[in-house]
Structure 1
Amino acid sequence: MADSSKIVLDDQNNGEEIEIDPSVLEVIMGIAAEKVDGVAEMHGDVKSGINRVLGREDRGRGVSVNIDDEHNLIADVYVSIEAGKNVPEIAMNLQKTLKQQVLQMTDLTLSEINVHVTGLEFPDDDNEDGSGTSQLFSDIDEKGKNESTRES
């Protein structure tokens, strides 16, 4: 495997090189991912947890960029989705948005963006009895109640 500590962009016309650290790409994608509608939170690893405890802001939290043997860029994104939202649609929007941002800012193309949905975030309710989850199934519950009252 090639040295994955830096991504080198070669300018064939004048022989100049630009080196980009993968953490820069992680920051770009982390900021862009937080702005996608339906994404509730980015989830990081142990390193980002330690940074948060120490009071450091970790903009790349929840994003990991790797380079495979063929020099392709692969990103893994770890997110929580807002409950009640269409998960596949949000994942596709994430992939599209992140590809565009990286291409626009660095002229690099990501070959893969793997979206890992690690959880659902429910809206904060004043009810502490757990009745907030019933809003997800309110149509089903109402139909079920109507049908059961008709049979009686």
Structure 2
Amino acid sequence: MSENILEMSQEGLGKVEIAPEVIEVIAGIASNEVEGLAQMRGNFAAGVAERFGLKNHGKGVKVDLTDDGIVIDIYCVVQFGISIPTVAGKVQENIRQSLKNMTALDTKEINVHVVGVQFETSSEEDKEEE
């Protein structure tokens, strides 16, 4: 298995190559489907691209292709008042299931890194402060 592309054989039909960026996008979309997840945490370049209207579905996702298997790291912010272990478990399961359905790949690890909590402020409180 190379560092850049994951190769799978198809019993004499040829080979299928899946780039890590594809796995990042699948994992990012699957993560965003989980209720209680406020947002994904990307890097500075991803933030600048989004300001120009470009949607980065792989934001907050890091994929490592190792000899032992696929390791996925998710960096996210959860909503206040939601059980973090429950959200993290749902994120892991949703990513695992989405990758299995779309690529027939199994993952070695799906690590969820909660890097923040988003507090919701109601518009009524904002109006009172003004």
Counterpart in the other structure of 1:48: 46
Aligned-partner Cα distance in 2 for 1:47–1:20: 24
Deviation at 1:56, TM superposition (A): 1.5
Normalising by structure 1, report the TM-score. 0.77
1:67 paired residue among 65, 68, 71: 65
CA RMSD of aligned residues (A): 1.4
Number of aligned pairs? 125
Aligned-partner Cα distance in 1 for 2:121–2:45: 28
After superposition, the C-alpha distances for 1:5-24 in whole angstroms (9 at most, x for unaligned) are 1111112x215110111111
> How high is the sequence identity, in percent, across the aligned residues?
31
Query: Which sections of structure 1, spanning at least 5 residues, go unmatched?
Result: 129-152
Higher strand share: 2
Counterpart in the other structure of 2:2: 3
Runs of 4+ deviating beyond 6 Å: none
Correspondence 1:72-151 to 2 at 5 A: 72-125=69-122, 126-128=124-126
Counterpart in the other structure of 1:133: none
Query: Which sections of structure 2, spanning at least 5 residues, go unmatched?
Result: none
- Relative contact order, CA 8 A, sep 6+: which one is greater? 2
Counterpart in the other structure of 1:58: 56
After superposition, the C-alpha distances for 1:22-49 in whole angstroms (9 at most, x for unaligned) are 1111111111111101101011123312
Aligned-partner Cα distance in 1 for 2:18–2:97: 17
